[in-house]
Structure 1
Amino acid sequence: MGGDQSRIRRFPGIAHEFIEVAGRPLPTLTTRPFRIVIERDGKEEPMRPPDGKPPYRVPSMAEVAALPWNGFSVASTFSGCGGSSLGYRMAGFRVLWASEFIEAARNTYRANASPYTIVDPRDIRQVKASDILDAIGMKPGELDLFDGSPPCASFSTSGKREAGWGRVKKYSDTEQRTDDLFFEYARLIQGLRPKTFVAENVSGLVKGTAKGYFLEILQTLKRGYRVEAKLLDAQWLGVPQARQRLIFVGVREDLCFSPAFPKPLPFRYTVRDAIPWICGIGGIRESGFSGERMVSSNSPCPTIMAGGGNGMNTSQFGVEAETDISRFAIGEEWDKLKPGEQSDRFFQLVKPPLDGPCPTITASGGSGSIAGVVHPTEKRKFTIPELRRICGFPDDFVLTGTYQQQWERLGRAVPPVMMMHIAGAVRDGVLRRLPRGA
């Protein structure tokens, strides 16, 4: 790189070769990450942030696949693109069976699923507990954990939610009734008799008139189970995004254990932590579990971002002209917004703060409208690679479909890192404490 036009210089205390090009043409910039470590007393040690907060990173799909099995198995319903399932896998679980009715979401799920995971495309109303048990070769009571994220749009506090209750209406790429699906999930619990279950929904389920639904759902889930429900926020569980979710955890009565939940972390990750190249200073991320740090190019463009050298075809990310919101003539309003501020005049346009968690990414944020969260320093929406990081997904997690469909998948998903902490709490607080053979 640069031939005899450049010379190598070493800086004291840093085990990295810098190339001096003063007065010479700049050498070719590559997307291949390189390694930076600190050298002390002849030994290399990883760089650490000054505040002691671990660097933000999400394990790659290959790293997740290489994790040892913790001995426990999961069946998942309303699995979407696989956010929850990936979180269980990060915690060492095996996801044996998953159900997803929406074709676009199912395509993404299959693109990232373990080879042994059975993906069922049917409407959950057509699925019987015996179907699941036959597919995974188990009997009632043997499954360790039953997961479910029934569609939550019916209980979202945005819009006139009550008007849609009891009706068939548009949901993602289909039309269906969604406010009764929690009871379908409860029906399957009664047939499967899993040792534990984890269900997820929006915080709106415990707000306003939806509280009646919440109480009815809670009573239904408590048939034979000790159940607790808590509002958890992804920003306190390792995700650089403020995202509240209502989490139900149930433990079968005969096991005599109470539900377990994760404790909040003592720190939060920020937008700058997730996409550090955002200010043009060279993005940094760790590589592998060895503690090494990696440096990428300083542009958020997906063709030169961290992980861009992994051989993936960047055209699959769907980063099209749609990512540029300047064409919606809101440049002046974007300029007026301060970081973390929301514009009521322009459909609640939100500019995230750089040094705080990103506001909630919604499923509709990738549409052609100018509503929702936008890039904090450029007049555009986030690219999909940027969004992956903000939503706690691996850089190499495959997303299929258009830009809008990919955004929707991420906006609907439980952040995998968040679910990893929830799954870990159930694993350590309940499943590992059970007598062998229970």
Structure 2
Amino acid sequence: MAYPDRLAAAWQAHLAPRTPDAPTVVSTFAGCGGSSLGYSMAGFDERLAVEWNEKQAASFVANFPDVPLHLGDIADLTDENALRLARVAPGELDVLDGSPPCQGFSLAGSRQFEDGRNQLFLEYVRLLRAFAPKAFVMENVRGMVIGKMRLIFAEIIRELKATGYQVSARVLVAGYYGVPQMRPRMIIIGIRNDLAAAGITPSHPVPFAIAPTVREAWHGIENTADEIDVAKFATTRLVDRLLYRMKPGEYGDRYHPNKQLYGLYRLDPDRPSPTLLRNGGAGGACEACHPSEHRRITIAEAKRLGSFPDPFVLRGSFPERWAAIGNCVPPLFMRAIAAHVRSLLAHTEEPHAATA
């Protein structure tokens, strides 16, 4: 099945009614809903989402109008209110999902050990204790296990285990799960101790795909004239001049030693995309540029590379919509993880790659 057709089929799975025995999930740090979409594609019933950014929350509500949303600081959501909104008692929830903000860990940032954003995982752990779900999934950047940040990573793992879970952590690459983007992410999966004692071991989905190319991802795509104009406007004069020299698959720093242009890249149509960064829509920087046209890619093109189906709604300005894609776990990637965790909890074999 061609990539656009697989995306369309996954979108229909998201729209399908939930079965009475559908597994349940609560999503923290939900953003525009990339992880939520992956769980929905895998048949989960989302009971609650938590997001503080109003623009990202507007996108979430547009795509998940029936999911209760706590809009605000996660620290302001009490344990009692979280359980009430999700309509579950402690121990009933199947999966608690969360991607705490990663700027403090990210290789693209300064990676300050004392960065306060590195402590937001404690709020996730607080809700983990409150819900006591059968399993949890925690996602972050691979920078967590590089250099001195490994000390924080070790603290995270110790805290998660102390909460009552067997834990497995691994860096996975989205491209090997059907996404046309070679995005590496740290995926931490936990299984509650009582279930682990019964023989359910936390593990990760086995890679099953060769990443689709940019050409395959964009097959049949429809860009509006306005979106193309916005994409052209988002480039600076310097970037525009560099694009006239850059060939597909080349980075801009080959032609200009400006560190601010690190990541400026003309996509190769016959390869998957590199990681789309959240800040690519701000300040004129454009890490992902069209293979042949002298412009950055449109939001429609970025959605395809991020495995967001065409009907998925993104609200806000060009930079805000771009940041939504760059911040999210690609939905097809999360669908593979969600389907794997669902199979663990159901005591069944993991679905074959062709149906995952």
TM-score between both structures, scaled by the size of structure 2: 0.88
Deviations 1:216-274 (A, max 9, x none): 00000112100011101111011000101100100000012111311111422110011
Match of 2:279 among 356, 361, 364: 364
Deviations 1:281-340 (A, max 9, x none): xx2xxxxxxxxxxxx7xxx5336xxxxxxxxxxx7xx66535445652434422332322
Match of 1:135 among 82, 85, 108: 85
Deviations 1:60-110 (A, max 9, x none): 645521154352100110000000000000000011100001111111111
Match of 1:354 in 2: 269
Deviation, structure 1 residue 143? 0.4
1:241 aligns with 2:181: yes
Deviation, structure 1 residue 353? 1.3
1:335 alignment partner AA: Y
Match of 2:352 in 1: none
Give the unaligned 5+ runs of structure 2: 350-356
Bigger-Rg structure (1/2): 1
Match of 1:16 in 2: none
CA contact (8 A) 1:97 1:119 kept: yes
Query: Whole-Å Cα distance in 2 between the matches of residues 93 and 270 of structure 1?
Result: 29
Match of 2:206 among 263, 277, 280: 263
Match of 1:59 in 2: 9
2:51 alignment partner AA: E
Match of 1:390 among 305, 315, 319: 305
1:251 aligns with 2:186: no
1:301 aligns with 2:210: no
1:220 aligns with 2:135: no
CA contact (8 A) 1:201 1:247 kept: yes
Match of 1:272 in 2: 215
Match of 1:418 in 2: 333
Match of 1:82 in 2: 33
Query: Whole-Å Cα distance in 1 between the matches of residues 235 and 323 of structure 2?
Result: 21
TM-score between both structures, scaled by the size of structure 1: 0.73
Match of 1:328 in 2: 237
2:166 alignment partner AA: R
1:193 aligns with 2:132: yes
Match of 2:121 in 1: 182
Deviation, structure 1 residue 212? 0.6
Deviation, structure 1 residue 184? 1.1
Match of 1:338 in 2: 247
Point out the structure with the larger helix share.
2
CA shift in 2, pair 1:429/1:99, >3 Å = same
Q: How many residues align?
A: 338
CA contact (8 A) 2:307 2:332 kept: yes
Give the fraction of aligned pairs with identical amino acids, expressed as a percent.
37
CA contact (8 A) 1:60 1:396 kept: no
Point out the structure with the larger strand share.
1
Alignment of 1:123-162 (within 5 A): 123-162=73-112
Match of 1:106 in 2: 57
Give the unaligned 5+ runs of structure 1: 1-47, 167-176, 277-282, 284-295, 304-314
CA contact (8 A) 2:235 2:286 kept: no
Question: Alignment partner of 1:162: what SS?
Answer: coil
Query: Whole-Å Cα distance in 2 between the matches of residues 411 and 54 of structure 1?
Result: 20
Query: Whole-Å Cα distance in 2 between the matches of residues 216 and 234 of structure 1?
Result: 26
Match of 1:209 among 135, 148, 158: 148
Deviation, structure 1 residue 191? 1.6
CA shift in 2, pair 1:341/1:149, >3 Å = same
Further displaced range: 245-254 or 57-66: 57-66
Question: Alignment partner of 1:131: what SS?
Answer: helix
Question: Alignment partner of 2:7: what SS?
Answer: coil
CA contact (8 A) 1:148 1:198 kept: yes
1:231 aligns with 2:171: yes
Query: Whole-Å Cα distance in 2 between the matches of residues 327 and 217 of structure 1?
Result: 41
Match of 2:43 in 1: 92
